[in-house]
Structure 1
Amino acid sequence: MHRFATSAFAAVCLIVCSATAFAQAPVQRQVDGIIAKVDNNVILRSDLEFGYLQYLAQSKQQPSEDLKCQIFTSLLQDKLLLARAEIDSVTVESGMVNSQLDQRIQYLAGQVGGTERLEQYYNKSLKQLKDELRKTVREQLVMEKMQRTITEKVTVTPKEIKKYFNAIPKDSLPYFSTEVEIGQIVKFAEIGREQKQEARQKLEDLRKRILAGEDFAALARQYSQDPGSAQSGGELGFFKKKELVPEYEAAALRLEPGGISNVIESQYGFHIIQLIERRGQEFNTRHILIKPATATVDVAAAAEELLKVREMIQSDSLTFAQAAKEHSDEKDTKDNGGMLTSRATGTTYIPMDQVDPAIFFVIDTMQVGEVSEPVAFTTPDGKEASRIIYLKSKTRPHQANLTDDYQKIANAALAQKRSKAVNEWFKKNIGTVYIEIDPEYEDCGGLQQLM
């Protein structure tokens, strides 16, 4: 494993062996059985085999028992994080889980060409896919929160960064291809009053048909624009309080089983809701969602607003980062100075061959420091929008050095120091939980260091 990697092996496995594995082609599972227990958390043989095969597929490494041992140790560390999180009452909000889950589904759908193809690929509805992925996403967020708690005070000094870099053999220094730093400020097209009224009226008509005796589920299959539930007759399944958007939940909980709500509006569009069943603190509903159409004139209005923002940046009235924070509608980037990050490294440096083609053709003729004119585009979840793009930097192909790559080297040094802090935490806390390991894996090298 390259010493210049920007994340520890355990962090890589956290992604590969859990949530990201879901995005890969289905893998034939081996005969199952529990190979480790950490308090109430178990590791199945299939978990290890699945993670091992997925890591081999992504990393292109050669199969080895040592690698399998490393993955087993990483899975054990994950379960220890979860066990300690339960003891320390570390939790994550349901809203955060739902947001991450939606992003994951959107990403997966984008990889295979849309939600319909995603359902065909796994032979499951979006609702079933979300239900299967929800626990994994929640656990991943809890583990990340625990790791942040462990490493939040870890920092590196310029002296440590230089020492880290100088310790890398010259023939092991990576060679970087052309990389760019790109920022964006996004404005979503606002829905006009006319489009909203059309969507509301369509649902009012459907509600009248249901109240007149037509089947809610049949109409949901025919008309609902929620791809995750339409095929299931609009049924969402059981949710707890605060796991759905407030407007939807409030309307649903005012109903008696079988009751039909008035038309309500949420961030997703307009809904009519039927309460199917209450079970303790959980409730099951079905709904029909109609999204207002987005008109081209709305995108033009967003572009006009971005032109004004661009003029303020060019006249030095605002920095790009300030403009992004104050004016961008894109939540994932606005608090990061508008900067896009690499999925592979988490840094703002993106290899040119990994740049979104729609952005590539915009920045291809730009000079460093320039901000583009507004460009219309469609977001992964189907929203019409406009954006201005900022080319912050562009590096030529080169071998790693402290002058051009200081931030990358600093990130790598910090990742190494954080990894050591996490390992020390494991050694300190491994005796605070009940652990039982299958004899087949008791002799794993990395595990012996922790124990």
Structure 2
Amino acid sequence: MALSAFAALCFLATSATAFAQAPVQQVQVDGIIAKVDNNVILRSDLEFGYLQYLAQTKQQPSEELKCQLFTSLLQDKLLLARAEVDSVVVDEAMVSSNLDERINYLASQVGGTDRLEQYYNKSLRQLKDELRKTVREQLVMEKMQRQITEKVSVTPKEIKKYFNNIPKDSLPYFSTEVEIGQIVKEAEISRQQKQEARQKLEELRKRILAGEDFATLAKEYSQDPGSAQAGGELGFFKKKELVPEYEAAALRLQPGEMSNVIESQFGFHLIQLIERRGQEFNTRHILIKPGTATVDLNAAAEELDSVRNMVLNDSLTFAQAAKEYSDDENTKDNGGMLSNRATGFTYIPMDQVDPAIFFVIDTMEVGDISEPIAYTTPDGKEAMRIIYLKSKTQPHQANLDDDYQKIASAALNQKRSKAVNEWFKKNINSVYIEIDPEYQDCNLLQKPVQ
């Protein structure tokens, strides 16, 4: 059972309705139930993760399940403790990027950033501040697990043995699944549109210099939904946690000073430094994004139409075209293929396909590529994309011929899991561990590896 550190971010994606339907149980007063070196597990961590897991999986409550969750949390803390000893760290830019991606995903699940803020009764800035440590810890744990399992592999013989050991009446039944690729072209922003955005900020800068309040104007004009309502305030960040252009301009300022108009990948900014605190700094900003015009979308569509014709005429493969022409950094190096977030596979059940894509591929044959269609990227940019239906499987019971990739992955995961468990057994005495007597019997790390 691979539940991450208190599984906060995984379970945040559960809808408000699902959470409301979680079993209501008496929760004891919060307190520390385990220590692993400098890392602690709170009773609230366990109870919250347990209720969320029940809501998400519809399983019946059981002490065994809670015990498994506790052991998973204990494993997480052991990974973190060993990572500190072994000086395993992750880049802060990766933390920020991963945090933004997850926040955007959560917002898309609940109907936008406004709904997300309303649901948690917190601004995006507050949510990011609270989740940053959890995201960093998750990335560190993932890096540790990769180091532990990097040499683990499975042979065809092991894959076949794994499959043959599954009872026939327990073989999974797969519904219709598809493999979908995309090539994305973002609308180019014209020089005129950039100039208009810059000019708007220059006018706001003059108003601030004339005495108007920066925060008030940020609330009214900033196009950053995560900070506008807070008067543009972003909160404290360390070096390399913000985009380079923004950080460089901010660090040249004295508290209370305002920057000139600066450009970043997000648009144009006016920045005011609020406070420095050691290696951290707090700023507020006004963001103006250049608009995208219809003519720019037409240009993107024309380019994609040309790319589509090259693929259809066998001048290059779809994967080659994606790598060379796609603006989607998440898929261009993966042959343009979309992945199932839950499994990491390129096979996606039809009932989990994005509705915007579902209605495009519904009438397509395997191998078809759609005409260019309008698309809004996860970060709000206007774009066009073409969709490729690579494969479509019919509903069937798992078998080695049709599902070799999935079975091989499952066999590899089982072998990796065993390697991680063996690592835990070897390293459990290398750190200080203290467990509340109530949970002593839940320490599954002390039990033999299966």
Which of the five TM-score ranges fits, normalised by the shorter chain?
Answer: over 0.9
- Contact map agreement 2:183 2:332 (CA 8 A) in 1: yes
2:13 to 1, 13, 23: 23
Instruction: Report the Cα distance in structure 2 between the residues aligned to 1:351 and 1:342, rounded to whole angstroms.
Output: 8
Instruction: Report the Cα distance in structure 2 between the residues aligned to 1:190 and 1:107, rounded to whole angstroms.
Output: 25
Q: How does 1:118-129 map to 2 (within 5 A)?
A: 118-129=116-127
Instruction: Report the Cα distance in structure 2 between the residues aligned to 1:409 and 1:331, rounded to whole angstroms.
Output: 28
**Residue equivalent to 1:389:** 387
The amino acid of 1:374's aligned partner reads P
- Contact map agreement 1:426 1:450 (CA 8 A) in 2: no
3-state SS of 2:429 partner: helix
The amino acid of 2:376's aligned partner reads T
Instruction: Report the Cα distance in structure 2 between the residues aligned to 1:35 and 1:102, rounded to whole angstroms.
Output: 31
For residue 325 of structure 1, report the CA deviation from its aligned partner: 1.2
**Residue equivalent to 1:361:** 359
**Residue equivalent to 2:90:** 92
- Contact map agreement 1:260 1:273 (CA 8 A) in 2: yes
1:166 to 164, 188, 191: 164
- Please identify, of 253-262 and 378-387, the stretch whose mean Cα deviation from structure 2 is larger: 378-387
1:312 to 296, 302, 310: 310
Deviations 1:180-232 (A, max 9, x none): 01111111111111111111000000000000110001101111111111111
- Contact map agreement 1:262 1:272 (CA 8 A) in 2: yes
**Residue equivalent to 1:340:** 338
**Residue equivalent to 2:427:** 429
Q: How does 1:278-293 map to 2 (within 5 A)?
A: 278-293=276-291
Instruction: In structure 1, list runs of 5 or more residues that go unmatched.
Output: 1-8
TM-score (normalizing by structure 2): 0.95
2:135 to 134, 137, 157: 137
For residue 251 of structure 1, report the CA deviation from its aligned partner: 0.6
**Residue equivalent to 1:276:** 274
Instruction: Report the Cα distance in structure 1 between the residues aligned to 2:198 and 2:230, rounded to whole angstroms.
Output: 22
3-state SS of 2:283 partner: strand
1:241 to 230, 239, 242: 239
3-state SS of 1:376 partner: strand
Instruction: Report the Cα distance in structure 2 between the residues aligned to 1:153 and 1:329, rounded to whole angstroms.
Output: 33
- Contact map agreement 1:16 1:51 (CA 8 A) in 2: yes
- Please identify, of 178-187 and 13-22, the stretch whose mean Cα deviation from structure 2 is larger: 13-22
Instruction: Report the Cα distance in structure 1 between the residues aligned to 2:379 and 2:6, rounded to whole angstroms.
Output: 24
- Contact map agreement 1:16 1:55 (CA 8 A) in 2: no
The amino acid of 1:438's aligned partner reads D
Q: How does 1:176-187 map to 2 (within 5 A)?
A: 176-187=174-185
Instruction: Report the Cα distance in structure 2 between the residues aligned to 1:188 and 1:208, rounded to whole angstroms.
Output: 32
Instruction: Report the Cα distance in structure 2 between the residues aligned to 1:129 and 1:23, rounded to whole angstroms.
Output: 14
**Residue equivalent to 1:230:** 228
Instruction: Report the Cα distance in structure 2 between the residues aligned to 1:277 and 1:450, rounded to whole angstroms.
Output: 53
The amino acid of 2:306's aligned partner reads K
**Residue equivalent to 2:53:** 55
Deviations 1:399-443 (A, max 9, x none): 100011111100110110110011111111111111101111111
Instruction: Report the Cα distance in structure 2 between the residues aligned to 1:158 and 1:294, rounded to whole angstroms.
Output: 51
Shift of the 215–30 alpha-carbon distance from structure 1 to 2, 3 Å rule, reads farther
Deviations 1:38-69 (A, max 9, x none): 01100000000011111111111111000000
The amino acid of 2:69's aligned partner reads I
Shift of the 16–430 alpha-carbon distance from structure 1 to 2, 3 Å rule, reads closer
Instruction: Report the Cα distance in structure 2 between the residues aligned to 1:423 and 1:88, rounded to whole angstroms.
Output: 18
For residue 120 of structure 1, report the CA deviation from its aligned partner: 1.1
Instruction: Report the Cα distance in structure 2 between the residues aligned to 1:30 and 1:223, rounded to whole angstroms.
Output: 46
Identity value in percent = 82
Deviations 1:156-181 (A, max 9, x none): 11100000000001100011111001
For residue 16 of structure 1, report the CA deviation from its aligned partner: 7.2
Shift of the 435–16 alpha-carbon distance from structure 1 to 2, 3 Å rule, reads closer
Runs of 4+ in 1 over 6 A off after TM superposition: 26-29
